[in-house]
């Protein structure tokens, strides 16, 4: 599968795919004899993984470390699991912060909606 075909499948640009490969967010992609990217199923899985993790806010550095550990083999299973647990904790903390902000925003919206009905903005 060409890089264009991959970009049509996912919300990602060719530049981003090349960047991810260059810095190690995804392992090196197979190439044709002419040097053209030739994505196989494994490569596609790595692209999906990278997109999902980035959308979740996982830092690039953590993804690079994960790929390095993966390439070192099964001796790194525990370390890879720990990285994913760390990413999960960071995501859960971000969600907690967003939930608190949403609560506060909903409270304020409610006060403004009440004020529209009564003509009085009361924060008590």
pLDDT tens-digit map of 71-122: 999 999 999 999 999 999 999 999 999 999 999 999 999 999 999 999 999 9
pLDDT band at 124 (very low <50, low <70, confident <90, very high): confident
Residue with tokens 């991959």: 6
DSSP 91-102: HHHHHHHHHHHH
pLDDT single digits (tens) 17-67: 999 999 999 999 999 999 899 999 999 999 999 999 999 889 999 999 999
**45-48: long-range pairs with CB below 8 Å, 24+:** 47/6, 47/10, 47/12, 47/17, 47/20, 48/10
């Amino acid at each position: 599968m060409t890089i264009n075909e991959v970009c049509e499948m996912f919300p990602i640009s060719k530049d981003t795919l090349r960047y991810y490969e260059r810095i190690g967010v995804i392992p090196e992609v197979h190439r044709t004899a002419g040097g053209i990217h030739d994505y196989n199923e494994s490569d596609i899985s790595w692209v999906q993984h990278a997109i999902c993790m980035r959308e979740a806010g996982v830092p690039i550095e953590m993804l690079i470390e994960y790929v390095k550990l993966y390439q070192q083999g099964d001796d790194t299973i525990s370390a890879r699991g720990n990285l994913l647990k760390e990413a999960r904790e960071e995501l859960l903390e971000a969600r907690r912060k967003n939930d608190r902000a949403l609560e506060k925003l909903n409270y304020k919206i409610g006060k403004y909606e009440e004020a529209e009905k009564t003509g009085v903005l009361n924060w008590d």
